[in-house]
Structure 1
């Protein structure tokens, strides 16, 4: 289905809603900044969609926002698709920037669409932090090293509540073997008030 000659086009199958429904009758509309309030709104609307036994039809128009909030919404999209037995579709309208692209990418390519005026913006994740050094010099050096390691490696560490390493997700610069080697020889990064 194509919305316009310049848009992303997909073959229509029997399970895809019609163009009018996709464009004008979404059951979830995300318009604006992605933040914790947006996640709460989204989860409420998603619950209604589930209770009504509907396919998810999301309209997305955002200048971006909190990357972690977007990751949570993307997770919920994938869980909905996996466990509800229903389809999920997304129409990106006008702007799908930054965190919005994370949400948009949670939908399979055949189930995501862009209007003719839509623009996608992808950029590297940004970080804003201050480092306060106060105390023995060796402790200060360790804090700086830990922050530098986070920037250089871009590895994401996930920990179970028990404190055991549950999974290390490799970054584009890290091989799986290298990640396994680091897991076997490293201790968990120390959390600080800087994060």
Structure 2
């Protein structure tokens, strides 16, 4: 069987994925979140809901918030939610993907995931009485440490149920780990490629 025939056969196993109820594209930001919530409200109120995304990344907290909406939908209504990554699922898009169990994640052929560490750009200015300066430094250190904990929680969610260990992701993330669709499937990060 040719690769094209094999991929066509896979696609016919998942007919719901052909017409996602929620279709997201562009930066993961406030506008995407507003669009996501409206499309989720407009989706049929019963049966599985399919969410597709194409993104080069964006705000990881928005990705986490959309993921929480999916978890709440699943936990409080019992509805199945399926994830379909198309073309590019980078950064905050992968954060959103982590809200779906690996057996509910799919990628289209040629899609790439990009997993990396959270980024921070900050300038720290020390002004004032010396006795106040340690508090400024401790506050920034607390921010960094808390962000690392959030990042680690997200990494554990991405790899849960896959063949990728937390340690492998943690070691590869500083260099922007690009994972093509077939490798993601073979490593169990997604159920299948269509």
With the shorter chain as reference, the TM-score category is 0.5 to 0.7
Q: Is the 8 A contact 1:64 1:98 kept in 2?
A: yes
| Residue 75 (str. 1) matches residue 68 (str. 2) | yes
- The equivalent of 1:193 in structure 2 is none
What runs of 5+ residues in structure 2 fail to find an aligned partner? 154-194
- The equivalent of 1:105 in structure 2 is 98
Alpha-carbon distance between aligned partners in 2 of 1:27 and 1:82, rounded to the nearest angstrom: 19
- The equivalent of 1:143 in structure 2 is 136
Q: What TM-score do you get using the length of structure 1 for normalisation?
A: 0.66
Distance 1:85 1:65, change over 3 A: same
Name the larger-Rg structure.
1
* C-alpha RMSD of matched pairs (Å): 3.0
Distance 1:4 1:72, change over 3 A: farther
Following TM superposition, where does structure 1 have runs of at least 4 consecutive aligned residues deviating by more than 4 angstroms? Answer: 3-6, 152-156, 169-172
- The equivalent of 2:20 in structure 1 is 26
1:88-167 to 2 correspondence within 5 Å? 88-152=81-145, 154=147
Alpha-carbon distance between aligned partners in 1 of 2:48 and 2:147, rounded to the nearest angstrom: 36
Number of aligned pairs? Answer: 150
- The equivalent of 2:78 in structure 1 is 85
Distance 1:132 1:124, change over 3 A: same
Q: What TM-score do you get using the length of structure 2 for normalisation?
A: 0.66
SS in 1 for 2:113: strand
Alignment deviations for residues 50-88 of structure 1 (CA, whole Å, 9 cap, x no partner): 6x3242111111001001101000000111111122211
What runs of 5+ residues in structure 1 fail to find an aligned partner? 157-168, 173-195
Alpha-carbon distance between aligned partners in 2 of 1:155 and 1:33, rounded to the nearest angstrom: 23
2:48 to 44, 55, 68: 55
Alpha-carbon distance between aligned partners in 2 of 1:123 and 1:170, rounded to the nearest angstrom: 9
Distance 1:5 1:66, change over 3 A: farther
